[in-house]
Structure 1
Amino acid sequence: MGTVTSAIVVGGGIAGPVAALALRKAGIAATVYEGHDGFADGVGGALSIAPNGRTALAAVDADHVVERVGTPMSGMVMQSWTGKRLAEFGSFDDLPPMQLVWRHELYRALYDEAVARGVRIVHGKRLVSVRGGVAGFADGSTAEADVVIGADGIRSTVRRLIDPSAPSPRYVGLLGFGARCGPAGVAPTGDKMHLVFGRRAFFGYQVTAGGDSGWFVNLPSKDPSYGATFSREEWLPILADAFAGDRIPAVALIRGTDPAALVVTGGLEDIPSVPVWHRDRAVLIGDAAHPTSPSSGQGASLAIESAVQLARCLRDLPVPAAFTAYERLRRARVERVIATAASTNSDKAAGPVARVLRDLLMPPMMRLFANPAKWRWQFDHPIDFAAPVAAEAALSPSGRG
């Protein structure tokens, strides 16, 4: 049996509220401490919640949150810059369909769900220290619980405090952009996301029957700080020019975007492996433990999975055994996803010579990868919240896998 009855969750983004919901279901009181004074309304672009993320949310009775704010995605269509369809990846009939969501809407929906269920979320608490179960904040205040959970993102303070030698985020060679826009005279894609390897950049878009559109761009750049001083008005023509001559609707969608709607993510990053996930009474989840680049399409879903699995472990096992079981359940899976995304990033950021080779090899590669069985391991990841953890964790692979 677990011995944890209370938890401090550092970070009120996506993973934090889900962790608090899962902990409450496990009988553990949780308070979320967020460093920012205000809300993250309007912050962030589009992301997908994969079937495995929805399965994890369902385990804590929260899948309805995504259904309320998301747009169904029944599949993805891969295209070349010529407009040629290379492959189509459909959803699995026996799994929940993927959902396209805007980060700020998902954030607020999860935040409101947590508060409605009695979770306390405290703003303006920037973490500066962790000693045992005591969290110290920049304003001089402290909070104490049985465990401290770092859900504070890719630049996690908790990660640095438990391991000062932890690796820093790695730039993956791509700048990220995205926007939601109205009708732009582009044919609807229905409930399918189209993903295009352009000659100079990568483009993704989905257009509803009503004409509402969402798009994103991954722009190769050797310098992660390139364009740091550019305004949104300056970025839009640069992005449109990146697809000039490509026989896809990227230019029309970008030109039809209100500059105020453009989200500039900046340099995309990951960390291939975080060596230390827990120490003493502190543990990491989400991007604090396993940050993957957006190319995975799995960042939020993996964070949700980890939050739910950690709650199960803390319910059933004492610390530190709970932390060990949690890492055994998670590390091999998340690092495999990170590595898969890194390979995708290499294709997106290919140089002129590599692009020619990529475009020649892509059609046969896409036919190979179109086999759904090759990707099912990512999406088919059931979590039986009620099942005891002990026996399951003992059989799970340890280490990095």
Structure 2
Amino acid sequence: MNNKAIIIGCGIAGPVMALALKRVGIDATIYEAQPMPNDTKGAFLGISPNGLNVINDFLPLQEILTDYTPGKISFFNAQNKPIGLIDNAHQKDLYGSETVQLKRGLLNGALRKAAEQAGITIKFGKRLISLSQGHENTVTAFFEDGSQAEGNLLIGCDGIHSATRSCLFQDAIKPTYTGLLSTGGFTMIPGLSNLAGSIRMTFGQRSFFAYALSNKGEVWWFNNISQPDEPSQSELSQLEQAALKEKLLALHKHDPYPIADIIQAAQSIEIYPVYDIPFLPQWHKGRVCLIGDAAHATAPHIGQGASLALEDTVVLAKCIRDLPSLTEAFNRFQSLRQERVQTMIRQARKVGDSKTVPNAFQRFFRDLLLPFFVKMEAKKMDWVYSYKVDWESKIT
């Protein structure tokens, strides 16, 4: 009986995975490494229709669309000349919802509370250190605090630096640094209402910068810095906010208004390296399976990381429901998902590469060709946004 699941990670995918398993008759307990919930931590992320439609199966979207920015994107060069546009005005009619940006903490909190209201237990302060699959139909998770948990299956929803992946595959491929650092934050700048309505992305002279106004008038912004050498975590953690602000101001010194004003007004700035996982050949072993960034991390440049993880949850739950063994379910899950996510990972890396600083010759052709490139890419995104899992259909 595969009726008791251990879920590692209580980010975005973990609570939805637990809710999806409950729908197919499996009780799950979520184990999270962080000592307690923190719904103010982190920046923001894009969720497109394919992800929002999964959320809407378990949680009314109006509960998370309380603080957001639009998903329409306007592109500008360093002289503030418009060079491209991705409009999402048609998405709601075509797909049932339209792309938005949401604060990570708000989304995490809403999904966690939905899981708790459904009777799902969430335990904090449980940092996974090892796994055991010694018995035929059980798996045991061992935690740093000395406790352990036993279930019939375990699903790793613990992100790009997944402890589950490290425990499962000792020689697993490590996340790959993409050559970019990302910074970002929130601030208030009076008088920017005329710049509302889209995410404004600027290919600056020395760095890429994007910002948008939320429905509450707050500025949400991020910057990408090209840095070929991967920084250490200690290097970033020791970087003082004042020094980081000065670095960003210097990078954007000659870029259009209000970029410098946004940086100057920032009270707190997040900084982190951008990684992806180009290809993990196996997502599962025995009674353990990885989903989301733990299996197929994609860089954030096309806003699909969270949506792909959400897709995973319902596909995996259906595979477990419909196939006679976990081995068959996990194999089928990977076969159904791998080509799609690999295409997304390649596309995100391609977009990220365009954010590195080109020479004057390359900038000329980028500005000239970007409108055509954007239009072609927007047409290609139909297969991304239209993806919807039918709960009633059977997996074979």
- One fold, TM greater than 0.5? yes
Deviation string, structure 1 residues 283-305 (Cα, Å, up to 9, x no partner) = 00111011111112111111111
1:335 and 2:342 correspond: yes
Partners of 1:99 and 1:300 in 2: CA distance: 12
What letter corresponds to residue 349 of structure 1 in structure 2? T
1:242 and 2:240 correspond: no
Name 2:372's counterpart in structure 1: 367
Equivalent residues in 2 for 1:1-400, closer than 5 Å: 4-61=2-59, 63-68=61-66, 70-91=67-88, 92=91, 93-95=93-95, 96-132=97-133, 133-208=139-214, 211-225=217-231, 228=236, 229-258=238-267, 261-264=268-271, 266-317=272-323, 318-350=325-357, 352-353=358-359, 356-371=361-376, 372-390=378-396
What letter corresponds to residue 41 of structure 2 in structure 1? V
SS at match of 2:115: helix
SS at match of 1:289: helix
The answer (yes or no) to whether the contact 2:9–2:30 under 8 Å persists in 1 is yes
What letter corresponds to residue 200 of structure 1 in structure 2? R
Partners of 2:216 and 2:65 in 1: CA distance: 19
Unaligned 5+ runs, structure 2: 134-138
Partners of 1:63 and 1:303 in 2: CA distance: 17
Q: 1:74 Cα shift?
A: 4.6
Deviation string, structure 1 residues 82-119 (Cα, Å, up to 9, x no partner) = 11111111112322111211111211111111111111
Name 1:398's counterpart in structure 2: none
CA-based RMSD of the aligned residues comes to 1.9
SS at match of 1:383: coil
The worse-fitting range, judged by mean Cα deviation, of 220-229 and 178-187 is 220-229
- Mark the CA change 1:165 to 1:332 in structure 2 (over 3 Å): closer, same or farther: same
Partners of 1:186 and 1:122 in 2: CA distance: 43
SS at match of 1:320: helix
Deviation string, structure 1 residues 132-184 (Cα, Å, up to 9, x no partner) = 22212223322111110001111111112221111111111111111111124
Q: 1:247 Cα shift?
A: 2.3
Q: 1:127 Cα shift?
A: 1.2
The worse-fitting range, judged by mean Cα deviation, of 9-18 and 244-253 is 244-253
Q: 1:187 Cα shift?
A: 4.5
Moved >4 Å (runs of 4+): none
- Mark the CA change 1:329 to 1:63 in structure 2 (over 3 Å): closer, same or farther: farther
What letter corresponds to residue 51 of structure 1 in structure 2? P
The answer (yes or no) to whether the contact 1:30–1:120 under 8 Å persists in 2 is yes
The answer (yes or no) to whether the contact 2:46–2:71 under 8 Å persists in 1 is no
Partners of 2:194 and 2:2 in 1: CA distance: 51
What letter corresponds to residue 340 of structure 2 in structure 1? R
Partners of 2:278 and 2:63 in 1: CA distance: 30
- Mark the CA change 1:145 to 1:188 in structure 2 (over 3 Å): closer, same or farther: farther
The answer (yes or no) to whether the contact 2:78–2:205 under 8 Å persists in 1 is yes
What letter corresponds to residue 257 of structure 1 in structure 2? A
Partners of 1:50 and 1:388 in 2: CA distance: 25
Q: 1:334 Cα shift?
A: 0.8
Partners of 1:203 and 1:302 in 2: CA distance: 25
**Matched length:** 382
TM-score, normalised relative to structure 2: 0.91
Deviation string, structure 1 residues 28-54 (Cα, Å, up to 9, x no partner) = 111001112122332211111111110
The answer (yes or no) to whether the contact 1:42–1:104 under 8 Å persists in 2 is yes
Partners of 1:26 and 1:231 in 2: CA distance: 48
Unaligned 5+ runs, structure 1: 391-401
The worse-fitting range, judged by mean Cα deviation, of 158-167 and 272-281 is 158-167
Q: 1:12 Cα shift?
A: 1.1
TM-score, normalised relative to structure 1: 0.90
Partners of 2:82 and 2:395 in 1: CA distance: 44
The answer (yes or no) to whether the contact 2:72–2:197 under 8 Å persists in 1 is yes
Deviation string, structure 1 residues 216-263 (Cα, Å, up to 9, x no partner) = 1111112332862221122112212211112242111111222xx322
The worse-fitting range, judged by mean Cα deviation, of 58-67 and 11-20 is 58-67
Q: 1:323 Cα shift?
A: 0.5
- Mark the CA change 1:324 to 1:159 in structure 2 (over 3 Å): closer, same or farther: same
The answer (yes or no) to whether the contact 1:4–1:315 under 8 Å persists in 2 is no
Partners of 1:126 and 1:246 in 2: CA distance: 43
The answer (yes or no) to whether the contact 2:43–2:103 under 8 Å persists in 1 is yes
Name 1:397's counterpart in structure 2: none
State, as a whole percentage, how many aligned pairs show the same letter. Answer: 32
The answer (yes or no) to whether the contact 1:186–1:252 under 8 Å persists in 2 is no
